Structure 1
């Protein structure tokens, strides 16, 4: 009735109190916390780290995902029951005749992922993030959230967090970060920690906390052009804390040659629902050969719950704002890969987003307008595209961890005073820089735009003025086209079968490099002669 296809990827506990438990962690050797309970939610909420679980019972299956959607789970119903997997290829190997979901593909072009539970395969569904998803033999299902994406109710202990002063909140937030990193160091057990270092606030904060905890065997790396400002600042950030730093120089010609053999990388990274994340791809091809990098290293990227806010103006009491408006704003903000978000407003997408927003919309406060946007951003773009970047680490044999995604950090941040919920992350960046200065004994330039140097109120005023004059969109677009045609990370090199003039024309018409990637991927032309995407039903 319920069949888990990729058994070799899981650790099996046949006599678990929940049923036949299959456990998978992002760090090898990390096993589930023992909890004496038959309640799946209570058990799931006791777990730490990055993990996924499947529980098989006689008449149902539990597909359990953590708040990072660390292990994406997909399933297919057929004549004999349900087939479940954490690897989409395990399903396609058994069912090579699956066809493309054309509506999902249309949506994918604009977002880079499929919204909700659909995948690009007809009939294949994905389990929701951060939940205990019970799939029953009759095809019905129930979803129990593992964590909240909006503020706690007033009768919850977490409600007190919102009322803290800025300094009190940062003290609490920092304490939760320390707990999260202590757990990561515990399960790492002395293995090398490999840190992708950009010079921005998240990776800088990550390093500062590791320094505070006296972490050893830390190796930082940065990739790009050797004379880039980012590389220079990243080197200073690492060395200022006494950590080793190496640089991976991106060579466009070599990237293009290596990309010709990247079909296996694409297959391993898209999980049936997301555009493969290629940002770290070339660097990883070099790091696995680097003498300083240990073969069992654990990658610690700066992924975090912080910074998912956008369109903060929706909190204004002078603005009339409905759930329908929230759907349109989400599409306008995220459905931009082709530069035509209006084309992304199709009934298929609107219906799914309306369902997602309804799960979080209370209308109880002006702030709920913004937090519902954050909640859907986290469950869709963050969980399906950003977090899915870790598939690249797995492909090259590395373990990984998201300490800044631990539940304690998540709960505290979601309930932070409203001051901290701004898209520019002004207060958060100041906190990260101050902690770095304390641990390094020196201040460094922050690798970020001028906006982060201004008070949060000034940032919002500046955005509003430029937006009303029409200059903001124009300036952003021209700067974006220029950058994408000669990307500092070499991403322009990964556009086979198109001349630079053709790429420039698409960019000027509004498309992004990700949008071009999405079209090439759907056409199986991102890597020449690849066979990843299923055909349309005839």
Structure 2
């Protein structure tokens, strides 16, 4: 996307970072640095990153330089001759921008601040539809008209004709058919995991490391490698009903690895108390930021563990985002063996069927098709004609659902001002998975075997726990899905009025009875009101 502008001089760019996703280190008003970047396993200070970025601009290698950075960060350079807004590969520290009536640019981490500063008072109808159906707004847009976001793996730079947002990184798995021995792949994956955990340990610097331990493979893998590393200060926790399969598996894994483990029990009563609190309403707006529907599952557990001082205020939370995705667990089988270039329409249909399902009725389907088609064509620019449809589907999900919904759930920790790190998005791991043949990525088959074997080896436990869902037969899964209002092991549906859930189950066209569909509807109504109030 290209934005025309009045001038490229720094006094015509206004920057106001609120510190929503971490405090910004500043060099005067020329450089802002949020989070932490590494280069060649060396942690970069603000001064180092600024100087290296300036050198890359002078050498014409800016895209390659940012590609080589790892970690979770964003930064802004606003010099007289250079302007750059850069997001890391996962958009983990969001940056937003807007232009006022004089075409002056305003940059912030707060969408409502930008709306007020530039007098924006309208929501985009298509963005509102996406927000309610998918749980996030795709592309550069936010819910607010003419307020934009820097996308994952993108940077915004100044040109003679204005500002342009360009990609420096694309998560596009090769998904080739070349056979490679799984033993060799497991050795390479082991090396990548060790590198990711070593970087995590360096960043943690002896602080308490906290792993939200689920019944799945991703958090288990992190716990296993922390055990192998010998890191001395690890705590794990799980939430849910005390006899749920997720809780029982997590407890067993923590005990076998010798880690301290805590359970925060969930029930409808706890959620009703949460729902009535002013802090929870503040949290919903904070995590949404006019882009994403909030994740809420961890909120009560994190709040309780911090209140009880079990989690230290300077702790480092290490969630398992998102091993199941990068390892191939989201590959749609109906697109296998199809070329991307001749099947864009089928990929769009697969995206909508998979990700746009919080509401029964799809308004503006033609507009949505056009938007998604344009996004897919932009992602596939410069790729070989042999690019597979499944690879393009995954690339779209990386930019959209992963960055804006899954990774955005780290706002839990930002809200409570607790630090976090995602080792499974370390570049060693994602670059590894981009090269793995399709046969090993389908259903995350290599990842599941690798984690099970590694857990058995490190823990001495001979049992293979699989994933929580592996413990239910297909008919039972179907029944649990149909009656999720009653079977949800975290009692999340305590937040949804029963009649709304029932209307959705009978496919009433305007029903908003899924958990995230209901939260999206409530937030849109609230944010519309907030936007008008801020504009007055």
The corresponding residue for 1:376 is 396
CA–CA separation in structure 2 for the residues paired with 1:319 and 1:53: 34
The alpha carbon displacement at 1:117 in A equals 0.9
CA–CA separation in structure 2 for the residues paired with 1:139 and 1:339: 41
- The CA deviation string for residues 135-180 of structure 1, in whole angstroms up to 9 with x for no partner, is 457544140323442439xxxxxx9x96632221121122111111
User: Secondary structure in 1 aligned to 2:99?
Assistant: strand
Aligned positions, number: 497
The corresponding residue for 1:395 is 415
- The CA deviation string for residues 97-117 of structure 1, in whole angstroms up to 9 with x for no partner, is 522222211221111111111
CA–CA separation in structure 1 for the residues paired with 2:363 and 2:331: 19
1:133 to 156, 163, 170: 156
2:211 to 192, 195, 198: 195
User: Secondary structure in 2 aligned to 1:296?
Assistant: coil
Does structure 2 retain, via aligned residues, the 8 Å contact 1:23–1:51?
yes
Does structure 2 retain, via aligned residues, the 8 Å contact 1:208–1:435?
yes
2:515 to 513, 516, 530: 513
User: Secondary structure in 1 aligned to 2:526?
Assistant: coil
The corresponding residue for 1:101 is 124
Specify whether residues 536 and 373 from structure 1 end up closer, same or farther in structure 2 by C-alpha distance, changes over 3 A only. Answer: farther
Does structure 1 retain, via aligned residues, the 8 Å contact 2:194–2:225?
yes
Does structure 2 retain, via aligned residues, the 8 Å contact 1:66–1:146?
no
The corresponding residue for 1:465 is none
1:286 to 301, 304, 312: 304
The alpha carbon displacement at 1:131 in A equals 2.0
Matches within 5 A, 1:42-121: 42-58=64-80, 61-78=83-100, 79=102, 81-92=104-115, 94-95=117-118, 98-121=121-144
User: Secondary structure in 1 aligned to 2:219?
Assistant: helix
The corresponding residue for 2:5 is none
CA–CA separation in structure 2 for the residues paired with 1:209 and 1:140: 43
1:324 to 329, 345, 355: 345
User: Secondary structure in 2 aligned to 1:114?
Assistant: coil
The alpha carbon displacement at 1:488 in A equals 1.4
The alpha carbon displacement at 1:492 in A equals 1.0
The corresponding residue for 1:488 is 489
TM-score (norm 2): 0.84
The corresponding residue for 1:299 is 317
Specify whether residues 248 and 26 from structure 1 end up closer, same or farther in structure 2 by C-alpha distance, changes over 3 A only. Answer: farther
CA–CA separation in structure 1 for the residues paired with 2:186 and 2:403: 25
The corresponding residue for 1:241 is 257
Specify whether residues 182 and 534 from structure 1 end up closer, same or farther in structure 2 by C-alpha distance, changes over 3 A only. Answer: farther
1:449 to 469, 482, 494: 469
The alpha carbon displacement at 1:94 in A equals 3.3
The alpha carbon displacement at 1:84 in A equals 0.8
The alpha carbon displacement at 1:476 in A equals 6.3
TM-score (norm 1): 0.84
The alpha carbon displacement at 1:25 in A equals 0.5
- The CA deviation string for residues 217-258 of structure 1, in whole angstroms up to 9 with x for no partner, is 110000011121211110111111111100111132232122
CA–CA separation in structure 2 for the residues paired with 1:75 and 1:437: 48
CA–CA separation in structure 2 for the residues paired with 1:179 and 1:414: 17
User: Secondary structure in 1 aligned to 2:396?
Assistant: helix
The alpha carbon displacement at 1:285 in A equals 1.6
Matches within 5 A, 1:95-494: 95=118, 98-136=121-159, 138-151=161-174, 164-260=180-276, 261=278, 262-304=280-322, 305-307=326-328, 309-316=330-337, 322-340=343-361, 343=362, 346-361=365-380, 362=383, 364-365=385-386, 368-422=388-442, 424-444=443-463, 445-450=465-470, 478-494=479-495
Specify whether residues 534 and 208 from structure 1 end up closer, same or farther in structure 2 by C-alpha distance, changes over 3 A only. Answer: farther
Does structure 1 retain, via aligned residues, the 8 Å contact 2:158–2:164?
yes
The alpha carbon displacement at 1:92 in A equals 4.0
The alpha carbon displacement at 1:481 in A equals 3.2
**Higher alpha-carbon deviation: 350-359 or 384-393:** 350-359
The corresponding residue for 1:5 is 16
Does structure 1 retain, via aligned residues, the 8 Å contact 2:119–2:535?
no
CA–CA separation in structure 1 for the residues paired with 2:339 and 2:173: 22
**Higher alpha-carbon deviation: 368-377 or 105-114:** 105-114
Structure 1 vs Structure 2 CA RMSD: 3.2
CA–CA separation in structure 2 for the residues paired with 1:322 and 1:533: 40
- The CA deviation string for residues 241-279 of structure 1, in whole angstroms up to 9 with x for no partner, is 111100111132232122222221022111221111112
Does structure 2 retain, via aligned residues, the 8 Å contact 1:288–1:295?
yes
CA–CA separation in structure 1 for the residues paired with 2:481 and 2:193: 34
The corresponding residue for 1:459 is none
CA–CA separation in structure 1 for the residues paired with 2:241 and 2:351: 34
CA–CA separation in structure 1 for the residues paired with 2:363 and 2:310: 46
Does structure 1 retain, via aligned residues, the 8 Å contact 2:240–2:490?
yes
CA–CA separation in structure 1 for the residues paired with 2:121 and 2:178: 48
User: Secondary structure in 2 aligned to 1:449?
Assistant: helix
Does structure 1 retain, via aligned residues, the 8 Å contact 2:115–2:147?
no
Does structure 2 retain, via aligned residues, the 8 Å contact 1:88–1:272?
yes
The corresponding residue for 2:4 is none
The alpha carbon displacement at 1:339 in A equals 3.6
- Unaligned stretches of 5+ in structure 2? 1-11
CA–CA separation in structure 1 for the residues paired with 2:433 and 2:114: 37
User: Secondary structure in 1 aligned to 2:76?
Assistant: strand
| Structure 1 residue 31 corresponds to structure 2 residue 45 | yes
User: Secondary structure in 1 aligned to 2:56?
Assistant: coil
The corresponding residue for 1:504 is 502
Does structure 2 retain, via aligned residues, the 8 Å contact 1:24–1:71?
yes
